[in-house]
Amino acid sequence: MSASGKVCILPFSLVLLVTIAAQVPSPKIERNYDSQKKITTVRLTPVQLAADKGRYHSLHISPSFKYAGEIFAKPEIIDFELQTVVKGRLNTDLYVVYMIDGETVFLSSSRWGIKRPMPGRVWMGERLVFRMPYETLVRLCAAKEAAIRMDGISFELSDEHKSLLKDFAKVAGAGLKADGF
């Protein structure tokens, strides 16, 4: 290959790499005010926690909280949402716990299914929303070892996941500004 051919490939590869990187959205904290309901919602956009682990095709987390009006109010409860895509049928007796430095934490939740979240697959999706006290979120962020256990499968929270949750907890705790907020 000639030297001029190598020069042409390098810029093209760089443009392709930058284009691919730009298409992968990075998690951010969003703030939305609903003027009809007069409620502000703050949420971390979904963050992938795992892919193709056991019967789960994917697992995403997306915590949020709401307050009345536009003036910040520190939440007591965080709606900690898990979004899953399950290979096959949903388990009707799903048991979910949070593991924080060896301690098992149980939280109340709401759950609903989503039919065929992936076209062409006979898979099911589901959303689980856990009512998590703000203090529990802070403990989860500060934990040396943190995981979510579902169907006997543990999904570990990496340092990157805990860092994103910590940024969200700072916003929830003090109404701090964050990127995209």
- Whole-angstrom distance, CA of residue 23 vs CA of residue 84: 22
Residue 18: predicted pLDDT? 40
Tell me the longest C-alpha to C-alpha distance in the chain.
66
Residue 177: predicted pLDDT? 53
For residue range 19-59, list pLDDT tens digits in order. 333 344 467 999 999 999 999 999 999 999 999 888 888 89
Q: What are the domain boundaries of the chain?
A: 28-174
Cα–Cα separations (whole angstroms), residue 118 to 51, 111, 133, 155, 167: 14, 19, 33, 22, 31
User: For the domain bounded by 28-174, which CATH number is listed?
Assistant: 2.60.40
Element (H, E) at 118: none
Any idea how long the chain is?
Answer: 181
Residue 157: predicted pLDDT? 96
For residue range 3-29, list pLDDT tens digits in order. 555 544 444 443 443 433 334 446 799
| Alpha helices (runs of H) in the chain, residue ranges in sequence order | 3-23, 134-142, 159-174
